[in-house]
Amino acid sequence: MNRIIVLRHVESEANRSNVGLGRTDSPPTELGLRQLRATVEALTNEPITRVLTSPLSRARLLAEAIAEDHQIEATACDGLIELDVGELEGLEWSIVRKRFADFLGAWRGDDSVSAPMPGGESLLDVLKRSRPLLDELVADPTEGTGLLVTHNFVVKMLVVHALAMPPREWRRIDTGLAGITTFRVADGVPAVVRLNDRHHLNGL
């Protein structure tokens, strides 16, 4: 692939409720469906030839709509599923602060990427399972654009990996809902040409 797009999913019910969200298959909201349509339109002229997606519906429905627009199939990949947040799933942050103070201390520290969610994954776990998919697209000599549709923490890990940044710098990457990040690939090296672009959502 000579271009790769990494795309975060659209708004889900859990995003709107601002609760911990990992593997729960929270469906898109009405705003999320409008974001979906706007994102499909924004990418309609991209020469997308491969689409890989998280199996969760907030990502998969977006990936399938883009794939259909390009007359190809979307492939679900478990490596693109969101961080397993374990016991934090579905909790409001006021509750998380009370129940998991020790974890939050580690999460805010210098080695946050190694700190597993209580009963769940660490960010290094996410990087280990997701980066082979990005690396596969980077190494693919086929002309065209590859698309990965995924989630907040996966996007952060893929971007720091693509840019050869230390994983601990993940907080320097912003990832808005339906944000578009694009890499140009030359000689097997990805370079960012667009990061977390959400201009296509203006007016929603």
What are the tens digits of pLDDT across the range 11-50? 999 888 888 888 889 899 999 999 999 999 999 999 999 9
The structural domains of the chain, with segments of one domain joined by +, span: 3-84+121-201
Query: 94-119, pLDDT tens digit by residue?
Result: 898 899 999 999 999 999 999 999 99
Instruction: Tell me how far CA of residue 153 lies from CA of 36, 41, 47, in angstroms.
Output: 20, 25, 26
Q: Is this model's pTM higher than 0.85 or not?
A: yes
Q: Could you give the residue ranges of the DSSP H alpha helices within 18-174?
A: 30-42, 57-69, 93-99, 101-107, 123-139, 152-162
Which architecture characterizes domain 3-84+121-201 according to CATH? 3-Layer(aba) Sandwich (3.40)
Cα angle 179, 8, 46 (rounded to 5 degrees) comes to 65
